[in-house]
Structure 1
Amino acid sequence: MMYSHKTENPRCLLYKRGVTPYLEALEWQRSLLAERVQNPQLEDVLILLEHPSVYTLGQGATLDFLKFDPQQTDYEVHRIERGGEVTYHCPGQLVGYPILNLRRHQQDLHWYLRQLEEVLILLLSIYGLQGERVAGFTGVWVEGKKVAAIGIKVSRWITMHGFALNVCPNMRGFQQIVPCGIADKPVASLAEWLPDIHIEQVREDVALSFAKVFGVHFLETENCGK
């Protein structure tokens, strides 16, 4: 396990929200990042929320992985500054946005990606599921099916964007894309193995796993967030 080896426990603000419009959350992340670029002493942040149905493409993503014309569609589609290809967000999927100063942790993007995977693998173990990495890809799989996608942006060692864990969403939206540009590996949700799973409990357990892996001390804020 690749947990942080820092002896101190940095403070981290924890925001837990429900379904939040994508562009609202994006603006919030950008504001938090800009504040921390200007003042690196500000606390780390973890935002846990859900989004209405929306498709997002990484800054270098190809449109070939969309099965519809983004110029002629009722779907909400945004190209953003994270890495990676197209992904889908919707209610029932837990999205985590860590705004971390990696100078407090480790200035290594490969390490950071593996840590995010470790958070989710640890979370899955709580529910008796074996989370796995797949060589050459970023994310977490269960029994060969991808249950979590990861895409990040880092500016001056401050992170934004993060991970999306399929807890109990309606998976039909994934049929309109090649998720993460990986055509030969199916996507799934935790509800496939745990039909009675609730996102509220998973949100609490993800926070616990994150605190353990990154060695942070949460200062929980009002759930309304901003």
Structure 2
Amino acid sequence: MNKCIVHRLGLVSYRQAWNWQQQLVKERIRSGVSPAPLDVCLMLQHPAVYTLGRGASWDNVKFDPSKESGFELIKVDRGGEVTHHAPGQLVVYPILNLTRDPFKKDLHWYLRQVEQVVIDTLQAFDIAGERVDGLTGVWVPDNRYPFPKSKIAAVGTHASKWITMHGFALNVTTDLSGFNRIVPCGLHDKAVSSIQEFHPNVSMADVEEVVIKSMEKVFEIEMQQTTNPPYLE
């Protein structure tokens, strides 16, 4: 069974985490397939920030970052539209080499696996997470909003030489008001939700533990935990 080092890092700036991902991917590209470094997963939270994926529309940003300096907005190389990160949101960045068994060199397969990790995690908290045809991410039925479903996790990825980066952001205890400054993922007819709205006393540590177990099951890997930042040569 492949091993994956999961770094449980707490609060980390978006730019720092993005830089770590880029360096980790470069190391793995340089090393080739064999011998290759272990797969890595960064598990963390970000201070409040907004990110725009490739091809994202500025029409979905409701504030002017040039006039409101308190709201950082970063254009990044993942797929997807604009989204929001903030404390209380669990962000997971798997750096996986998809050329290795039992993975597949197929980004559509990979995205569905990532979604399954979230769905299995939510199931552990008795929340019915589901996919929506034609959309990426994980959704929950929620009659507390005037919409049939609310998005609880955003998914976006990028791969170089079949080595993945970026990943998913699961709202756990997130202050959801930050999403009011954008059209989340470019979807005007959907709201956002969090695990806390179903389980007010949920803890981030509990969710992290369940995510780790879910990743082990879905990706058939052994997760080795550390609280140290990734070592970069």
1:90 match: 86
Q: Secondary structure in 1 aligned to 2:180?
A: helix
Q: CA deviation at 1:44?
A: 0.7
- C-alpha distance in structure 1 between counterparts of 2:87 and 2:117, whole Å: 21
Partner of 2:174: 169
* AA at the equivalent of 2:120: L
2:110 to 107, 112, 117: 112
Query: Structure 2: how far apart are the matches of 1:22 and 1:177?
Result: 18
Shift of residue 71, structure 1, vs aligned partner: 2.1
TM-score, L = length of structure 2:
0.91
Shift of 1:73: 1.8
Amino acid at match of 1:62: S
Indicate whether 1:99 and 2:95 are aligned: yes
- 1:14 paired with 2:6, answer yes
Give the match for residue 25 of structure 1: 17
1:38 correspondence with 2:18 = no
Task: Give the CA deviation at 1:220.
Answer: 2.0
Structure 1 residue corresponding to 2:217, chosen from 212, 219, 222: 212
Deviations 1:127-185 (A, max 9, x none): 11111000000000110110000000001100000000000111111000000001101
Matching of residue 200 in structure 1 with residue 215 in structure 2: no
Measure the CA separation in 1 of the matches of 2:176 and 2:199: 15
Equivalences, count:
217
Amino acid at match of 2:136: T
Q: Please give the root-mean-square deviation of Cα atoms over the aligned residues, in Å.
A: 0.8
Choose which of 113, 123, 126 in structure 1 pairs with 2:124.
126
C-alpha offsets along residues 31-77 of structure 1, whole Å, 9 cap, x if unaligned?
Answer: 00000111131111111100000000002111100001122222111
- Please say if 1:155 is aligned against 2:160: yes
Which residue, 215, 228, 231 being the options, matches 1:224? 228
In structure 1, what residue type is equivalent to 2:113?
Q
Instruction: From 72, 76, 85, give the equivalent of 1:76.
Output: 72
Q: Could you tell me which runs of 5 or more consecutive residues in structure 1 were left unpaired when the two chains were aligned.
A: 1-8
1:10 CA displacement: 0.8
| 1:115 partner amino acid | Q
SS at match of 1:103: coil
Q: What is the alpha-carbon distance in structure 1 between the residues aligned to residue 219 and residue 44 of structure 2? A: 19
For residue 128 of structure 2, what is the amino acid of its counterpart? Q
Aligned pairs for 1:170-189 (under 5 A) are 170-189=175-194
